[in-house]
Amino acid sequence: MLRCLGEPPGIPIRNSVHLMADLTAREQGTASVLAFDLVNHPFDPQLVELFEDLNGRYFDGLLSVVPVCQGIPEGFDEREDPNGLLRLMMYPKPDAPLQASAMLYLASELFEAPWGSEEARWEKITDTLLHQMVHFAVQVDALGGAHPFEEHHGEHFTEECNRIANRAGWGRVHASAEGVMPNQDAAEWPDNAIERSGA
């Protein structure tokens, strides 16, 4: 079962009600993103606070809160990120979107599997959410025309990771490609970047 977590400030959520948040592309200001969800579960203020903290620390508060769900939907077993997923649907079509729906998903195992401590669990949840927020930021920029859309962990994803790494004092990564070592692969970011920085 999916449980959606995260309530945008000032937007009350009720059962079977559409959640709408107007977002603009961070740099271009030309893309309107419509985020919506139908939920039957309460929202978790801890993830709202975490999203807002990461947003302020690494994105200058320019990403609006979108639903964050605990659990990956069925049909996404063959994804590149085992612990998280950004689902972005564009209307009327991907090459000329007028609006889009965006949701972030975190794997249930992050919340349910045994961990050494709750602190270690929330470090992993934080790293996973930050990774998915980078995917979201890159796609929002693409919606605004800043660069082409890309899948997975390519050039623009890597640039955003390294922008944040410079701010945080972490190691840099490279776009996923054959021959890139796991400790420098953007697909493993931010875990590998933090480890190499000694933070």
pLDDT digits (tens, 9 = 90+) for 13-45: 332 223 333 344 454 444 444 444 444 444 567
Q: Name residues whose C-beta falls within 8 Å of residue 112's C-beta, 6 or more positions apart in sequence.
A: none
Q: 153 pLDDT exceeds 90?
A: yes
Tell me the average pLDDT across 132-156. Answer: 87
Residue 94 confidence (pLDDT): 62
Tens digits of residue pLDDT in 64-112: 778 788 888 887 777 778 899 998 877 766 666 567 778 888 898 999 8
Tell me the average pLDDT across 127-139. Answer: 94
CA-CA distance, 138 to 146, in Å (whole number)? 9
Residue 186 confidence (pLDDT): 94
Residue 152 confidence (pLDDT): 85
Task: Judge residue 158's burial from the number of C-beta atoms within 10 Å of its C-beta, 0-12 exposed, 13-18 middle, 19 or more buried.
Answer: buried
Comparison of pLDDT for 105 and 6, the residue scoring more: 105
Six-digit token pair at 152? 């997975």
Residue 44 confidence (pLDDT): 62
Query: If you average pLDDT over every residue of the chain, what do you get?
Result: 76
